[in-house]
């Protein structure tokens, strides 16, 4: 095949120039070392050109040219004679090939996908669309003379030239014509081709597709999807594009180059496909344009996944003949969220109140029981006695257990409340709002309040533990130092009670028994 030959010659030829467009393929080769075998091989490759196309081959030797346009023995003999008559070792030889492409049965040849992509993608987006429209009716099958994996849409297909592609069925043609008719009824294209639909550019993306072709199909799909959704699409004299939407309000996008359109092509196509499904597009387009005009930021459309879900939710409400219900539902969802926040904060406040009660208990014990009663009875020795140490240990143990129970209960209640709130909202509005929109409203609030209450619980837990440790440390150190000084004090007290001399000793009366006399 000529593509294989070209891939070989790219690395061996002294000079090679290739250009391929929708209408023609041109080639110039200057071989490194020329021989009749090189010319003969090239002539043989001409037999692989599609029978749809015509060619002109020119052999130039030192400015002397000979041209042929058929792959027959007589024409090959003309080239051979020309080579033998003019070829010398110093001769400058160049081969020129021009292939003029023709469309037959909606099929068009591509001889080098790489060079076709490079040449085609040098054009801007509107030029590419206009170029395609000149060869497109309702289907276009590119027959590629290379080994490639088939890719494309239902109407624009790239495959190997040996692959067969069935034409559109009558039903497919009717459906396509019906859609284009709907476009003309519901939107206005000014200097933009009605030839195409967004479906023509909805290509299944594969890794084998050249990146420039991927970008073209993506941008063209985005442009036509937005054009079919908008009220008016206008291409200005300076080749810029603007979209106008009439909804709850009217807005027009700023003029911009089509290649600079950066809206999400998949979301735009999804909205278009839904709006024109089953031919019921008038009401759907009105709803879509209302959403677009309400959500537009600084005159930009700003399509996101949320836009799609909002459209779906609004349409569900519309089907129930109650458009105002959507705003009412949003208000009720806000009430659910506000009530959830309030109740969660109340649960957290209960935990902080427990901490405050514990702290007040510590202070009351120290001030009322220990300081007042202890100092009144026996000074610091009584305050830091073993009895009060044991009581303080008991209070700390009870306080710690209560803290753990209160902390666990607070977290459990917050989790239960968040779960019940979400389930209640989902159960109430599941038939009206989409699950994604419910989650988008509830989940960020639940996540935020859980983070906030978690931080508060952690902070007060740390303070609770710290105050408990300080309380028990106070009595432990007091008890230790008080009992360390006690033996010395007792010894000093004992030494002070011993009399200094014998005169101060208590008098002891001793009764002496007189032995009986003999008388």
Cβ partners under 8 Å of residue 428, min gap 6 = none
CB 432 within 8 A of CB 325: yes
Q: Are 487 and 385 in contact (CB under 8 A)?
A: no
How much is the mean pLDDT over the chain? 78
Average pLDDT over every residue of 221-243: 92
Which residues 6+ apart lie within 8 Å of 286 measured at CB?
247
Position 14 confidence tier, pLDDT thresholds 50, 70, 90: confident
Provide CB contacts within 8 A for 489, sequence distance 6+: none
pLDDT (0 to 100) of residue 505: 44
Q: What is the mean pLDDT of residues 331-343?
A: 69
**Higher local confidence (pLDDT), 5 or 169:** 169
The pLDDT of residue 127 is 92
**Order of strands, sheet of 188-190, starting from the edge strand that comes earlier in the sequence:** 188-190, 232-235, 241-246, 250-252
Residue 422: the pLDDT is: 72
Give residue-wise pLDDT tens across range 351-403: 666 666 666 666 666 656 555 655 555 555 555 667 666 777 777 777 777 77
Who has greater pLDDT, 167 or 37? Answer: 37
481 CB neighbour count, 10 Å cutoff: 12
pLDDT at residue number 229: 92
pLDDT in tens, 406-463: 777 777 777 777 777 777 777 766 666 667 777 777 777 777 777 877 787 787 777 7
Higher pLDDT pick, 205 / 473: 473
Domain chopping of the chain, boundaries: 2-101, 108-319, 327-487
149-158, 438-447, 484-493: the lowest-pLDDT one: 484-493
| 3-state SS class at 212 | helix
pLDDT exceeds 50 at position 517: no
Pick the most confident of 58-67, 87-96, 357-366.
58-67
Higher per-residue confidence, 26 vs 294: 26
pTM for the whole thing?
0.63
Lowest mean pLDDT among 202-216, 342-356, 495-509: 495-509
Tokens of 251: 């807005």
Give pLDDT tens digits for 394-409: 777 777 777 777 777 7
pLDDT of residue 267: 92
Identify the three-state secondary structure at position 168: coil
Above 70 in pLDDT, residue 496? no
């Amino acid at each position: 095949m000529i593509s294989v030959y070209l891939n070989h010659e790219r690395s061996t030829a002294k000079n090679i120039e290739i250009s391929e467009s929708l209408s023609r393929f041109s080639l110039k080769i200057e071989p490194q070392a020329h021989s009749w075998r090189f010319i003969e091989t090239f002539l043989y490759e001409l037999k692989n050109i599609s029978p749809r196309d015509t060619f002109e081959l020119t052999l130039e030797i030192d400015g002397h040219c000979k041209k042929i346009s058929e792959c027959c023995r007589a024409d090959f003999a003309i080239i051979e004679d020309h080579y033998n008559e003019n070829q010398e070792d110093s001769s400058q030889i160049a081969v020129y090939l021009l292939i003029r492409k023709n469309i037959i049965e909606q099929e068009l040849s591509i001889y080098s996908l790489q060079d076709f992509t490079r040449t085609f993608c040098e054009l801007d987006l509107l030029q590419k669309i206009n170029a395609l429209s000149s060869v497109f009716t309702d289907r276009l099958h590119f027959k590629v003379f290379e080994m490639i994996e088939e890719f494309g849409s239902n109407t624009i297909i790239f495959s190997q030239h040996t692959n067969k592609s069935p034409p559109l069925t009558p039903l497919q043609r009717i459906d396509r014509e019906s859609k284009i008719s709907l476009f003309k009824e519901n939107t206005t294209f000014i200097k933009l081709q009605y030839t195409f639909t967004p479906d023509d550019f909805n290509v299944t993306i594969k890794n084998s597709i050249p990146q420039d072709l991927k970008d073209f199909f993506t941008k063209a799909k985005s442009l036509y999807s937005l054009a079919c959704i908008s009220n008016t699409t206008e291409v200005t004299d300076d080749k810029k594009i603007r979209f106008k939407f009439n909804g709850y309000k009217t807005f027009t996008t700023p003029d911009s180059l089509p290649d600079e359109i950066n809206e999400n092509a998949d979301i735009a196509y999804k909205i278009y496909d839904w709006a024109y499904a089953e031919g019921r597009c008038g009401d759907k387009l009105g709803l879509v344009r209302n959403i677009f005009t309400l959500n537009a930021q600084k005159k930009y459309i700003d399509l996101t996944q949320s836009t799609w879900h909002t459209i779906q939710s609004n349409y569900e409400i519309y089907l129930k003949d109650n458009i105002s219900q959507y705003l009412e539902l949003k208000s009720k969802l806000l009430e659910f969220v506000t009530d959830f926040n309030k109740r969660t904060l109340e649960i957290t406040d209960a935990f902080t109140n427990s901490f405050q009660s514990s702290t007040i208990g510590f202070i009351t014990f120290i001030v009322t029981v220990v300081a007042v009663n202890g100092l009144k009875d026996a000074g610091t020795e009584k305050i830091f006695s073993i009895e009060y140490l044991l009581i303080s240990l008991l209070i700390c143990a009870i306080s710690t257990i209560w803290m753990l129970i209160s902390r666990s209960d607070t977290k459990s209640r917050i989790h239960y409340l968040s779960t019940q709130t979400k389930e209640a909202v989902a159960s109430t509005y599941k038939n009206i709002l989409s699950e994604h929109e419910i989650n988008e409203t509830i989940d960020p609030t639940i996540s935020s309040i859980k983070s906030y209450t978690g931080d508060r619980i952690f902070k007060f837990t740390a303070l609770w533990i710290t105050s408990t440790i300080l309380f028990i440390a106070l009595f432990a150190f007091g008890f230790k130092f008080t009992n360390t000084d006690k033996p010395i004090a007792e010894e000093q007290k004992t030494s002070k009670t011993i009399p200094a001399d014998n005169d101060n000793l208590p008098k002891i009366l001793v009764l002496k028994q007189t032995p009986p006399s003999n008388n």
